[in-house]
């Protein structure tokens, strides 16, 4: 029985979907103006694991992810500039070229991490009519108002207590986001009211992307896209809305207010959030300049799946402090994991089974269903591969099944010359030519491989990540 922590109720609850065997699952996707940093990617890894665990529990999952290609302003406030357009101007390219290039880069990154592409990718620009319709609905409910510059959501009219249900943060902590070079809308009723629609006037007069609306030409705010897209593709309410903890205070809070204010029904039943990836104990962020991308990892010669392994070692609701040393250690463990699996898969020697595989099945399922406890589930996998009471084929079968969630196993390609050296060493060892055997071990080690003698035979794996 799957249990998930619900950020809305602050409790770990038994998961029961709206429909018996189906789950509607929405995840906030990238703003495609730059490469995703590895902090972003940690969130997408946890969401991928959640989808796999849901499927393992027998559910058919319909997963939707938005792609923000308009309306996400610098600073995440209503007073910045459109992130995608800013990059397009700087690089002298069209907005579409920028959005297409970084969407392609994002999909390449998640593929490298064995993150499955969601069933539906929904660019915000394809759903502008739905966003306009939602704003009109909010006007009809008396929850939206118009100024010369924009259309805003009236938080006080909606109800401050309701508005803060998810974040539980005081309104005094919400600022307009103003900077010295930005003119704030003086017609805004309250500093915490947020934009539903920006008019192409003033600083946005030359905004490239614009659509007609009852309030004049303009473009949608960042928050309205997720409300409109999720309702159109999943209905309202749907089962699970996921994202990073950084979205709780503003974006997800605003989504709930828009959707529930317009239709009087919950937006999603479960709100599930992944914690930050830190660098030197500070949040990784593009704006802070302390971020790394998957390309940075690849340039160091580290396999991308080392990052996935590193993420799985820590519970998704715990902060993870990133360092190159911890990534290297994860890469080494990943290589050994793959070597152990392939050794078990290719070892035809049978051993008597003192413990049935069902014991490990139960431990693994219990760990995952306990709010996605991947560190404990990983420990079960290592226990399986190190067990003296399981036959090699049983180890391999369990590892394959567990990896349907982990997504870590890959072909281990050991060069022929290394295999020949290992074979010669084994012959020397069996004939008790220990000096020659030790020399061959050293040679294998110098070439970047570790060889370990076991009762089932020698195990060989690359010290560098797969």
pLDDT value at position 400?
95
Give the integer Cα–Cα distance in Å for 287 and 414: 42
> Mean of the pLDDT values across residues 65-94?
73
Of 53 and 344, the structure prediction assigns the larger pLDDT to 53
Give the integer Cα–Cα distance in Å for 176 and 64: 30
Of 90 and 320, the structure prediction assigns the larger pLDDT to 320
Domains and CATH numbers, the chain: 20-274 (3.40.50.620), 288-406 (1.20.120.640), 416-462 (no CATH)
Q: Say if residues 337 and 408 touch (Cβ distance below 8 Å).
A: yes
Of 202 and 318, the structure prediction assigns the larger pLDDT to 318
> Mean of the pLDDT values across residues 438-462?
83
Q: Could you tell me the pLDDT band of residue 456, with boundaries at 50, 70 and 90?
A: low
pLDDT tens by residue, 384-434: 999 988 988 899 999 999 999 999 998 767 788 988 898 899 899 889 898
pLDDT value at position 465?
56
Share of the chain above pLDDT 70, in %: 91
Q: Could you tell me the pLDDT band of residue 177, with boundaries at 50, 70 and 90?
A: very low
Residue 141 has pLDDT above 50, yes or no: yes
Q: Residue 41 has which token pair?
A: 């990617």
Residue 81 has pLDDT above 80, yes or no: no
Residue 74 has pLDDT above 80, yes or no: no
> Mean of the pLDDT values across residues 20-41?
95
Question: Which alpha helices (DSSP H) does 347-373 contain, by range?
Answer: 357-369
Mean pLDDT value across the chain: 90
Least confident residue range of 158-167, 291-300, 388-397:
388-397
Beta strands at 218-220 and 282-283: parallel, antiparallel or unpaired:
unpaired
What pTM did the predictor assign? 0.88
Residue 258 has pLDDT above 60, yes or no: yes
Residue 163 has pLDDT above 80, yes or no: yes
Residue 178 has pLDDT above 80, yes or no: no
What is the rounded end-to-end Cα distance, in angstroms, of the chain? 34
- C-alpha distances in Å from residue 150, one per residue of 81, 125, 146, 147, 163: 14, 18, 6, 5, 21
pLDDT tens by residue, 315-332: 999 999 999 999 999 999
Share of the chain above pLDDT 90, in %: 67
pLDDT value at position 220?
94
> Mean of the pLDDT values across residues 363-383?
98
pLDDT value at position 199?
95
Question: Of the candidates 120, 128, 110, which has an alpha carbon nearest to the alpha carbon of residue 69?
Answer: 128
> Mean of the pLDDT values across residues 199-210?
88
pLDDT value at position 251?
96
Q: Could you tell me the pLDDT band of residue 350, with boundaries at 50, 70 and 90?
A: low
pLDDT value at position 414?
78
Least confident residue range of 163-177, 231-245, 347-361:
347-361
pLDDT tens by residue, 296-314: 999 999 999 999 999 999 9
pLDDT value at position 321?
94
pLDDT value at position 72?
55
HSE toward the beta carbon, residue 254, CA cutoff 13 A:
24
Give the integer Cα–Cα distance in Å for 153 and 155: 6
Give the integer Cα–Cα distance in Å for 420 and 464: 20
The verdict on whether omega for the bond into residue 237 sits within 30 degrees of 0, i.e. cis, is yes
Residues with Cβ within 8 Å of 196's Cβ and at least 6 positions away in sequence, in order, are: 135, 138, 144, 150, 151, 152, 153, 220, 221, 223, 224, 258
Question: Of the candidates 27, 24, 20, which has an alpha carbon nearest to the alpha carbon of residue 58?
Answer: 20
For residue 242, the surrounding DSSP H or E stretch is strand 238-244
């Amino acid at each position: 029985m799957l249990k998930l922590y619900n950020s809305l109720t602050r409790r770990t609850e038994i998961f029961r979907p709206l429909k018996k065997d189906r789950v509607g699952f929405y995840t906030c996707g990238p703003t495609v103006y730059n490469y995703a940093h590895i902090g972003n990617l940690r969130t997408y890894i946890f969401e991928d694991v959640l989808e796999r665990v849901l499927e393992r529990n027998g559910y058919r999952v319909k997963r939707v992810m938005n792609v923000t290609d308009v309306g996400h302003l610098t600073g995440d406030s209503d007073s910045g500039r459109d992130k995608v357009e800013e990059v397009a101007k700087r690089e002298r390219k069209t907005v579409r070229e920028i959005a297409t290039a970084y969407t392609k880069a994002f999909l390449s990154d998640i593929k490298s991490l064995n993150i499955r592409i969601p069933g539906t990718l929904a660019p915000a620009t394809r759903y502008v009519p739905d966003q306009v319709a939602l704003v009109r609905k909010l006007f009809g409910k008396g929850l939206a108002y118009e100024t010369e510059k924009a259309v805003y959501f009236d938080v006080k009219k909606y109800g401050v207590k309701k508005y803060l249900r998810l974040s539980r943060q005081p309104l005094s902590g919400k600022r307009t986001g103003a900077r010295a070079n930005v003119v704030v809308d003086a017609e805004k009723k309250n500093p915490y009211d947020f934009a539903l629609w920006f008019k192409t006037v003033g600083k946005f007069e030359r905004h490239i992307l614009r659509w007609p609306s009852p309030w004049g030409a303009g473009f949608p705010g960042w928050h309205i896209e997720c409300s409109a897209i999720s309702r159109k593709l999943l209905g309202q309410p749907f089962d699970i809305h996921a994202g990073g903890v950084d979205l709780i205070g503003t974006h997800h809070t605003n989504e709930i207010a828009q959707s529930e204010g317009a239709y009087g029904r919950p937006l999603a039943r479960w709100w599930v959030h992944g914690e930050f990836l830190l660098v030197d104990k500070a949040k990784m962020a593009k704006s802070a300049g302390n971020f790394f991308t998957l390309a940075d990892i690849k340039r160091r010669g580290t396999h991308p799946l080392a990052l996935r392994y590193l993420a799985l070692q820590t519970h998704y609701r715990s902060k993870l402090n990133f360092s190159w040393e911890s990534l290297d250690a994860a890469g080494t463990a990943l290589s050994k994991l793959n070597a152990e699996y392939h050794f078990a898969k290719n070892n035809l020697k049978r051993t008597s089974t003192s413990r049935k595989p069902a014991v490990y099945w139960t431990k693994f399922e219990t760990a995952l269903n306990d709010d996605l406890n991947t560190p404990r589930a990983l420990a079960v996998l290592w226990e399986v591969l190190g067990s003296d009471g399981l036959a090699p084929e049983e180890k391999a079968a369990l590892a394959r099944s567990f990896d349907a969630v982990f997504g870590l196993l890959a072909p281990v390609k050991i060069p022929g010359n290394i295999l020949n050296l290992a074979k010669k060493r084994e012959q020397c060892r069996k004939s008790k030519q220990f000096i020659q055997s030790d020399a061959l071990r050293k040679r294998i080690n110098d070439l970047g491989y570790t060889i370990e003698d076991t009762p089932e035979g020698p195990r060989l794996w690359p010290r560098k990540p797969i």
